[in-house]
Amino acid sequence: MFYHVQSLINPIVADEPDPSAANALQEGLGGQFGEMRTMMQYLFQSFNFRGDGVPYLDLIQGVGIEEISHVELISKTISRLLDGAPEYNGKKFETPGAGGKATMDMAKEQQNPHHFIVGAQGSLPVDAAGNPWSGSYVHDHGNLVLNLMDNLVLESTGRLQKCRIYQMSENKTLRATVAFLIVRDEAHQAAFAKALETLGVDWGKILPVPKFDSSKFPEVKRLLDAGIHREQYHFRLDSSMMEKIYSGPSPFNDGTELVTLKEPRESYPIPMAPERPEEFAPGLDAELQEMADALADFKDKMLNPKSPPATKSATKAAPKKKS
- Of 222-241, which residues contact its own copies (CB under 8 A)? 235-239, 241
Residues 176 to 195: which contact its own copies by CB under 8 A? none
181 CB-contact burial (10 Å; exposed 0-12 / middle 13-18 / buried 19+) = buried
For residue 90, state whether it binds its own copies (rule: CB under 8 A): no
For residue 173, state whether it binds its own copies (rule: CB under 8 A): no
Residues 248 to 267: which contact its own copies by CB under 8 A? 263-264, 267
For residue 94, state whether it binds its own copies (rule: CB under 8 A): no
For residue 170, state whether it binds its own copies (rule: CB under 8 A): yes
For 248, the 3-state DSSP assignment is strand
CA-CA-CA-CA dihedral for 290, 291, 294, 298, to nearest 10:
-90
CA distance 137 to 230: 27
Instruction: Please state whether the peptide bond connecting residue 210 to the residue before it is cis, i.e. omega within 30 degrees of 0.
Output: yes
Q: In this structure, how many other beta carbons lie within 10 angstroms of the beta carbon of residue 87?
A: 16
Residues 131 to 160: which contact its own copies by CB under 8 A? 131-146, 149-150, 152-153, 156-157, 160
Member of 11, 84, 130, 271 binding its own copies (CB under 8 A):
130
For 299, the 3-state DSSP assignment is helix
Binding marks (x or -) toward its own copies, 2..21, rule CB under 8 A? xxxxxxxx----------xx
Size of the site for its own copies (CB under 8 A): 168
In angstroms, give the least distance from the CB of 223 to its own copies.
13
In angstroms, give the least distance from the CB of 90 to its own copies.
18
Member of 129, 225, 249, 257 binding its own copies (CB under 8 A):
129
Ordered strands of the 231-233 beta sheet: 231-233, 257-261, 248-249
